[in-house]
Amino acid sequence: MLAPLIVTVAPCIPPYAALHLPKLDLSPDMIAQEVIDAHAAGASIAHLHVWDHDGQPTGDLGAFHRTIARIREGCDIIIEGSTGGVGDLTAAERCVSLHADIEMASLNVGSVNYDQGVYVNSPDDVRFWASEMARRHIKPDIAVFEVGMIQNALRLADEGLLKPPYLFSFVLGQTGALPATPKNLLFLAESVPDGAVWGAAGHGGADLPMSSLAMMIGGHARAGFEDNPYYAPKRAATSNAELVRRLVRIAGELGRPVATPAQARGMLGLADRQANSRG
Ligand code: ZN
């Protein structure tokens, strides 16, 4: 019997990917509404980037705070902040999301080629982000682009910077890194410690096959405009919720129940927000 399926929605489309689509409303209120609708469709985690009012990456938390406040008014979804980023941002600038009201954050644990560039996550920076997350009681969602990164994470666990249950997110299909094949996903899934929770995010159009395979073998799933704004080739998705609904439908056919945010918090060892706000 597999654990309930945690579906993550990732609505923050990278600016370069949005260029090819009809103009999207990427304001804080609209992103919040996309997340609330995705929650109604079955998502229990929202993976968010720190954006300004027009959907451009920024170090200013004003718009991000508003997005989070609107989401919290509308639903109890778990909010994860990204600490990713390319360019010349400092390690501290990369993790401004940790200053917001978030429960989880992506933790990149190694460097990898990214198309024609390099996605740099040096050991010192990784340790800094992991310590900041530990200090703020924010759960790391360990992003794995290559299998050796799992060992990088386990070293941090040995140092006491990561606590079980570990959560790994396998990112497959990025140009320059591990291709999105079933064999690669199985290899990653078999390479994490017993008891770890893991999910798959497919890039380059591989989001649906990677999520579908993951849900069949005990992993968790992710969808959203960040990974793929298309529902099918040449057919843009009408909303992030539409993409989430498809995953939930497949899970239903496979007999796998979908986790509520409360269930997901239990599975990931997160504090219950209701209990927190009462106490
Ligand atoms: Zn992201």
> Does 145 map to a domain?
yes
Q: How far is the CA of 84 from the centre of ligand 1 (A)?
A: 7
Question: What is the rounded average pLDDT of the residues 45-64?
Answer: 94
> Does 106 map to a domain?
yes
Q: How far is the CA of 278 from the centre of ligand 1 (A)?
A: 31
> Does 1 map to a domain?
no
> Could you count the other beta carbons within 10 Å of the beta carbon of residue 102?
21
> Could you count the other beta carbons within 10 Å of the beta carbon of residue 150?
21
Q: How far is the CA of 157 from the centre of ligand 1 (A)?
A: 23
> Does 277 map to a domain?
no
Q: Which domain holds residue 242?
A: 7-271
> Does 278 map to a domain?
no
> Does 103 map to a domain?
yes
The whole-number pLDDT of residue 114 equals 87
Cβ neighbours of residue 139 closer than 8 Å, sequence gap 6 or more: 103, 104, 105, 133, 167, 268, 269, 270
Q: How far is the CA of 105 from the centre of ligand 1 (A)?
A: 10
Q: How far is the CA of 98 from the centre of ligand 1 (A)?
A: 14
Going by their DSSP bridges, the two strands 7-9 and 104-108 should be labelled as unpaired
Band of residue 274 on the pLDDT scale cut at 50, 70, 90: low
Question: Is the per-residue pLDDT at 278 higher than 50?
Answer: no
Q: How far is the CA of 139 from the centre of ligand 1 (A)?
A: 15
Band of residue 275 on the pLDDT scale cut at 50, 70, 90: low
The whole-number pLDDT of residue 279 equals 37
Q: What's 166's domain CATH number?
A: 3.20.20.70
> Does 52 map to a domain?
yes
Q: How far is the CA of 106 from the centre of ligand 1 (A)?
A: 8
> Does 251 map to a domain?
yes
Please give the model's pTM, rounded to 2 decimal places: 0.96
The label of the residue with tokens 């989880």 reads 104
Q: How far is the CA of 83 from the centre of ligand 1 (A)?
A: 8
Question: What is the rounded average pLDDT of the residues 35-55?
Answer: 96
> Into how many domains does the chain fold?
1
Label residue 238 left, alpha or beta by phi (over 0 means left) and psi (-120 to 50 means alpha). alpha
DSSP summary character for residue 59: S
